[in-house]
Structure 1
């Protein structure tokens, strides 16, 4: 007899992932579809929304092919904040502009800040206006592609686009809306009409719900395309990092989630609104929650880049070689700003730097330096979070980068902080499944996904990393003038 189950699907930067999960939290099956964002030039990352739906339907059919489970609900999440504009018939007008890895909207940020006031934007919207925000991306389309924008009527992100295709509902979750700076008022928890009219004129902004609320039920047409039962509920969904946090129970005051993926994301849950020019203040995925968040533009993207540079390289072999390299990577130091940097540097023109290279350095040294660069970036973000009033009491790690022990150990050694690892660390798709299960029964993440182990820092290595971290913090200001000049050449 088929067991009762739910499905969670996440649309990520480099892949879409789906999981079939029993109502007790047991991971029955998983599936992946890899993809690559389109690059229209330096600082541009786009993706066709047709890919999201094609991969979603492929995942659901693969997950249910064995017919050993009766799916009772669906949860969705995706990278964000992204900007997909459609006409009144929900026909996409162009590929979606992705989140902060796409840095094209610098001039729009300057113009919006001049009109609305940088301090007032932070006060009302919770965050400084950066290339992470959805508002300037919408403004870029309006200014650079005016004929196309004249036909634009609706705004979608990956999760809300899936909801539309599955249920017919046009909705967005509050957390995703809070990353649409400056369109959303984080204090009132609603769209701020005066600024929406200023920055996104003519766009019918979606009604707002919380991530775990049902957006609607699966239509007959969607059932035929996905192979799922018609009439089952679908969650409103959210941005992937927040679904990741839910998947490992990192939603309590004082929690900090570290998401080890293509990028590194940090989500700290706070009891009241906190703001910082160098971080993002948002509402949370669950009602009543608030976050102070940060994100590095690259982390796993750099290790993937290194793997691809070496014709016979693979992550397992490179990780072994990095372990042999030892703390400090034999005198190599890397700035991981290969796609600019988000928090806390907030510099779209930052670039990667590898300092200290000699002819004796190995692939393992380079790979180790990349892993340590992520650790130094996490420590920098943690210091800024606590400087803004955050109170980090527990660190929980999630994502593909937690599968091996080296990366998480390096980060704990650099930061001096333990990290909890839950039994299942697949991340956002599992968090989506958890929210979906909540539509049909009461669930507890501690029952679903208990703590497996805690990574503890090695005091001796932490002391050694203190000196290297001081050099890391000096490297960006020492090289930024040269790097910015090089970034300008890359844009030509």
Structure 2
């Protein structure tokens, strides 16, 4: 029996699955980990000690589960991204990996590169304005602040391409990840933006571009010894974890959307022609020649966890029950969920959280319901921008936040959109296994293992109320932005 190995390196854990060609999961394994926050605005991971070590451990666990007479026909690894891993010729990381948009150290480089190349030109060619999500400014930051590291580096990688290199020795990057390495990649052309890339990367060569479902090489002897995966096993490129997860639940056609409920909200929509919006990320998709829009908030579930902690640490079941007892609209309480700044749609690292309308009548349940509704208002703002590019065909919901019925119902009620919940919600590692199967032609390219289990319908009785509250919510950020920034400056002086 032919089996596929899918491994995903997330922000808080690494997960692997062993899957057959019909999509049935034979075995799975998970290892939790954290990230390093060594300075304000920095978010890092030791790529070798965390990502590579855990890939090896997960691989050993799952290869031990392969039944007699079966084989691992192919494997694929996805990971958080876009990230920056700088290595020498031996694939030894020269500094900790700089993580995606949660790492905001390169703010000055974002400004200087935008001035150098021009915001309009960047948006036109890369599809996305420079932000903390972009890899180009992170490379520029290393060049400026750690010149000895930059000089010693001989290659740069994302999380999944680093692992692909460790497994196969191949220097590649998938088109989707490359399209988030702004402004190095011309998204409308599906190719490197050679002139700008040369300016930023300097002596560093550009990786070979591949599509996420393409075979990039085979497991070499050293990697086989480290992982337990047989020598010669084909390795498929993989991509950023959110897009691997979207692939896993059948978000494959223009108009398909994915809402990922997690520590942050991440949203993906497939589109049929190139479209750029300064408040969104335009990227290459997973499948050859496909395009997508993406958006990500800076907090979501992490805000709920913060509220849980500061209100006494009651169980989430208790807190959700209290929130469910509060009427829709939280009796006039509205929250801006910007506790860690905000990515899309405002791209303001200095944005801050806000509860507006507090009275003595409001209790803990109101705070939680308002937080869920505030997150939902942010989702609505993003989906409305997605609609400008392509009318939504269907919306698939994934992620750990699905356990909160009040959260998911608030999103459907606020947006007016039903959400489809898949039966198999394993995540990106499941999409990796499917990409591996497609890459070695064990299944047809159009194969979809996803089955929809249920649908979350919006409650029309709440629509008018939420429309009114959404209008107020949209005014809160621009009305308080300057005051919040002033508070940040005052706090910084302390």
* TM > 0.5: yes
Matched, 1:12 2:10: yes
Q: Distance in 2 between matches of 1:32 and 1:331?
A: 42
Q: Bigger shift: 399-408 or 142-151?
A: 399-408
* SS of residue in 1 equivalent to 2:188: coil
Matched, 1:253 2:291: no
Contact kept, 8 Å, 2:398 with 2:421, in 1: the verdict is: yes
Partner of 2:58: 59
Distance 1:364 1:16, change over 3 A: farther
Q: Distance in 2 between matches of 1:140 and 1:191?
A: 20
Which portions of structure 1, spanning 4 or more consecutive aligned residues, are displaced by more than 6 angstroms?
Answer: none
- Could you tell me how far 1:249 is from its partner in structure 2? 0.8
Q: Distance in 1 between matches of 2:234 and 2:314?
A: 44
**Cα deviation per residue 1:317-350 (whole Å; 9 max; x = unaligned)?**
3333322234223433211112211111111111
Partner of 1:294: 295
Q: Distance in 2 between matches of 1:29 and 1:326?
A: 43
Matched, 1:215 2:189: no
- Could you tell me how far 1:360 is from its partner in structure 2? 4.8
**Cα deviation per residue 1:182-229 (whole Å; 9 max; x = unaligned)?**
111112211122101212212112101000001111222222222222
Distance 1:447 1:273, change over 3 A: closer
Q: Distance in 1 between matches of 2:491 and 2:42?
A: 12
Q: Distance in 1 between matches of 2:156 and 2:127?
A: 21
Partner of 2:478: 477
Q: Distance in 2 between matches of 1:22 and 1:482?
A: 56
Contact kept, 8 Å, 1:244 with 1:428, in 2: the verdict is: yes
* SS of residue in 1 equivalent to 2:94: coil
- Could you tell me how far 1:18 is from its partner in structure 2? 1.8
Contact kept, 8 Å, 2:272 with 2:390, in 1: the verdict is: no
Contact kept, 8 Å, 1:186 with 1:282, in 2: the verdict is: yes
**Cα deviation per residue 1:218-248 (whole Å; 9 max; x = unaligned)?**
2222222222222211110101111111011
Q: Distance in 1 between matches of 2:337 and 2:403?
A: 21
* SS of residue in 1 equivalent to 2:335: strand
Q: Distance in 2 between matches of 1:317 and 1:74?
A: 41
Structure 1: 5+ residue runs without aligned partners? none
Distance 1:353 1:29, change over 3 A: farther
Contact kept, 8 Å, 2:249 with 2:449, in 1: the verdict is: no
**Cα deviation per residue 1:296-320 (whole Å; 9 max; x = unaligned)?**
1121222232334455434333333
Distance 1:16 1:321, change over 3 A: farther
Matched, 1:91 2:54: no
Q: Distance in 2 between matches of 1:435 and 1:176?
A: 15
Distance 1:489 1:39, change over 3 A: farther
* SS of residue in 1 equivalent to 2:260: strand
Partner of 1:419: 419
* SS of residue in 2 equivalent to 1:208: strand
TM-score by length of 2: 0.94
Matched, 1:303 2:301: no
5 Å-filtered alignment, 1:188-337, equals 188-309=189-310, 312-337=313-338
* SS of residue in 2 equivalent to 1:101: coil
Partner of 1:430: 430
Q: Bigger shift: 469-478 or 401-410?
A: 401-410
Q: Distance in 1 between matches of 2:409 and 2:319?
A: 16
- Could you tell me how far 1:413 is from its partner in structure 2? 0.7
- Could you tell me how far 1:39 is from its partner in structure 2? 1.2
* SS of residue in 2 equivalent to 1:448: coil
**Cα deviation per residue 1:428-458 (whole Å; 9 max; x = unaligned)?**
1111111112234115777522111121111
- Could you tell me how far 1:128 is from its partner in structure 2? 1.0
Contact kept, 8 Å, 1:398 with 1:426, in 2: the verdict is: no
* SS of residue in 2 equivalent to 1:238: coil
**Cα deviation per residue 1:115-143 (whole Å; 9 max; x = unaligned)?**
11110111111111111111011111111
Q: Distance in 2 between matches of 1:408 and 1:152?
A: 45
Matched, 1:32 2:30: yes
TM-score by length of 1: 0.94
Contact kept, 8 Å, 1:413 with 1:458, in 2: the verdict is: yes
Distance 1:66 1:321, change over 3 A: farther
Distance 1:153 1:240, change over 3 A: same
Contact kept, 8 Å, 2:91 with 2:166, in 1: the verdict is: no
Contact kept, 8 Å, 1:178 with 1:185, in 2: the verdict is: yes
